[in-house]
Amino acid sequence: MALDVLRATDVSLSYDHEQVLRGLSLSVEPGEVVAVIGPSGVGKTTLLRILALSIRPDEGAVELERTNAWSVDDAERLSMRRRIGMVFQNANLFDASVARNVEYGLRVRRSWSERFRDELRSVVRSNGTVDAVRESLEVVGLADKFDQSTSSLSGGEAQRVSFARALAYEPDVLLLDEPTSDLDPRNTAVIEDAIAEARTQGIGIVVATHDMHQAERVADRVAVLLDHRITEIGPTERIFQHPSDDRTRKFISGELVY
């Protein structure tokens, strides 16, 4: 079995004395897709932000290749964060060309020393950046919109640009927060194909989704988040066909569970 690229162990978090997540453990291997399903408000987005090292949990550890992110100094933790990409439910693009939006992900992920070194090799940097931008746009089927303004894109196309931006700097882990929420079937299919392509590159992927059919289509394993904790995690087929936890069974069958 491959080593986990990202692992959260016994993670708990509270806001204003209200428990948000409790005793939660989750891992993802290189090239694996793990779906996190659960009702709205249960903490799926918060979990992704913890995995992205944007929020420090009250308890527990978050490890990237066996290094606890909260046991190292700020500089090393920043370096670890640069290896994790996140695609939010809303695309959050700025008003510029598609290419500039994708390139932005490459620029902000480089350290200052790398940027300085690249200034001395501007031609190599430029060619390499353009290639990375084009390749990531090809994955999401938008290479023909390289120079087009993002203001002219549909909502589905904007989300695909956001996905391409995260892919461009070749993260070790990709975190997707409801990546196809409110998208039409065509754009949903493109995003799911992009997820499949990303996994072939060895990227570990965690998808938070309320769409259980999507979880069945894309995930190797599924984690069920109920009552702010993971009640069950396992191979996708077993979770949906033969859940071992009664709360999982009730949630999957459509009963209201909190």
| 97 within domain boundaries | no
- To 10 degrees, what angle do helices 98-109 and 122-139 make? 120
| 127 within domain boundaries | no
By DSSP bridging, strand 59-64 and strand 67-68 are: antiparallel
| 3 within domain boundaries | yes
258 residues of the chain, pLDDT tens digit each? 457 899 999 999 998 888 999 999 999 999 999 999 998 889 999 999 999 999 999 999 999 999 999 999 999 999 999 899 999 888 889 889 999 999 887 776 654 445 444 443 443 344 556 788 889 999 999 999 999 999 999 999 999 999 999 988 889 999 999 999 888 999 999 999 999 999 999 999 999 998 999 999 999 999 999 988 999 999 999 999 999 999 899 999 887 555
Domain that holds residue 225: 1-82+220-258
| 88 within domain boundaries | no
Q: How many domains does the chain have?
A: 1
| 228 within domain boundaries | yes
Phi, psi angle pair for 217, to nearest 5° = -75, -40
| 141 within domain boundaries | no
CA quadruple 91, 64, 32, 28: dihedral sign? negative
Say which residues have a Cβ less than 8 Å from residue 41's Cβ, sequence separation at least 6. Answer: none
pTM: 0.88
Q: Buried b vs exposed e over 104-143: b needs ≥16 C-beta within 10 Å? A: bbbeebeeeeeeeebeeeeeebeeebeebbeebbebbbbb
Q: Max Cα separation, the chain?
A: 61
| 19 within domain boundaries | yes
As given in the structure block, the two tokens for residue 249 are 């069974």
Enumerate the H helices of the chain as residue ranges: 44-51, 74-81, 98-109, 112-119, 122-139, 155-168, 185-200, 212-218, 236-241, 246-252
Q: Buried b vs exposed e over 49-61: b needs ≥16 C-beta within 10 Å? A: bbbbbebebeebb
CATH number of the domain where residue 73 is located: 3.40.50.300
